[in-house]
């Protein structure tokens, strides 16, 4: 079955430290991949997306993600975390060419220590 | 420009009552989605509208749930005879068309059934 797994439920990092949030997918073919952020009391916001081509994609707020087909992964990274990055992060995937149902991970909650 | 607008932002209702949630998508967006997000969970697909096509209702959890959309504009999600397990944040999202992910989300309606 198609699925998206975020292995880390909760992560705490210090401000200024680097960050990597993991995402693995299980699909028959390479899906479209997305990372969203949900800040407290706010709606979901798209950070970045991967459809095809360059496997390293740049997003907003200094985030990037790398698609690795061999590992079925699409990990989110940021070289230096800011306190305002504390939020819930969701990885999502959908089959290429079908926009009907995004499959979502359960999310990773990020806390940032001053 | 205006984003996806949902109302009300919060709704408290008694068990057994009916509720209606509203979503105003971004103008010109033909695709509209409803998701449910329970506390600490990922997003659960409920229903999808695309233009004049028959909606994809495969995610609706029971016959107490229904949704309508008027053309390519407003959508309403109705929950009849609410139960406590219906308590969640209900998110609406819209997209330009099926070939234009990702989705643009509203801030959601937080439903509490007492």
Q: Least CB-CB distance to A99: which of B98, B105, B108?
A: B98
d(CA B100, CA A102): 13
The pLDDT tens digits for A36-49 are 999 887 788 999 99
pLDDT value for A29: 80
Structure tokens at A32: 């479209």
d(CA A51, CA A42): 26
| Contact call for residues B29 and B95 (beta carbons, < 8 A) | yes
pLDDT tens, chain B, 114 aa long = 578 999 999 999 999 999 999 999 999 898 899 999 998 788 898 998 988 888 989 899 999 999 999 888 899 999 999 999 999 999 999 988 755 666 789 999 999 999
pLDDT value for B70: 85
The β-bridge partners of B67 are B77
Query: Which portions of chain A are predicted below pLDDT 70?
Result: 97-100
**Residue A39: closest CA among chain B residues belongs to which residue?**
B107
If one counts every other C-beta atom within 10 angstroms of the C-beta of residue B92, the result is 28
**Residue A44: closest CA among chain B residues belongs to which residue?**
B105
Beta A19-21 vs A73-78: how paired, if at all?
antiparallel
């Amino acid at each position: 079955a198609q699925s998206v797994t975020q292995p880390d439920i909760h992560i705490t990092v210090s401000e200024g430290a680097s960050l990597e949030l993991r995402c693995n997918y299980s699909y028959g073919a390479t899906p479209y991949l997305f990372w969203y952020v949900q800040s407290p009391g706010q709606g979901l916001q798209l950070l970045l997306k991967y459809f095809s081509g360059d496997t390293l994609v740049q997003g907003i707020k200094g985030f990037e993600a790398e698609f690795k087909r061999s590992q079925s992964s699409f990990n989110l990274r940021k070289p230096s975390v800011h306190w305002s990055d504390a939020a819930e992060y969701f990885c999502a995937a959908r089959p290429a060419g079908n926009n009907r149902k995004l499959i979502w991970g359960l999310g990773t909650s990020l806390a940032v220590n001053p | 420009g205006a984003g996806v607008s949902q109302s009300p932002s919060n709704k408290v209702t008694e068990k057994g009552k009916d509720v209606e949630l509203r979503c105003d998508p971004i103008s010109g967006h033909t695709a509209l989605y409803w998701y449910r997000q329970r506390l600490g969970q990922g997003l659960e697909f409920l229903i999808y509208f695309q233009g004049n096509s028959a909606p994809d209702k495969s995610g609706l959890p029971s016959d107490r749930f229904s949704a309508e959309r008027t053309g390519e504009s407003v959508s309403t999600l109705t929950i009849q005879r609410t139960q406590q397990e219906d308590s969640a944040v209900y998110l609406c999202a819209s997209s330009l068309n099926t070939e234009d992910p990702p989705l643009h989300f509203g801030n959601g309606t937080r439903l509490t059934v007492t």
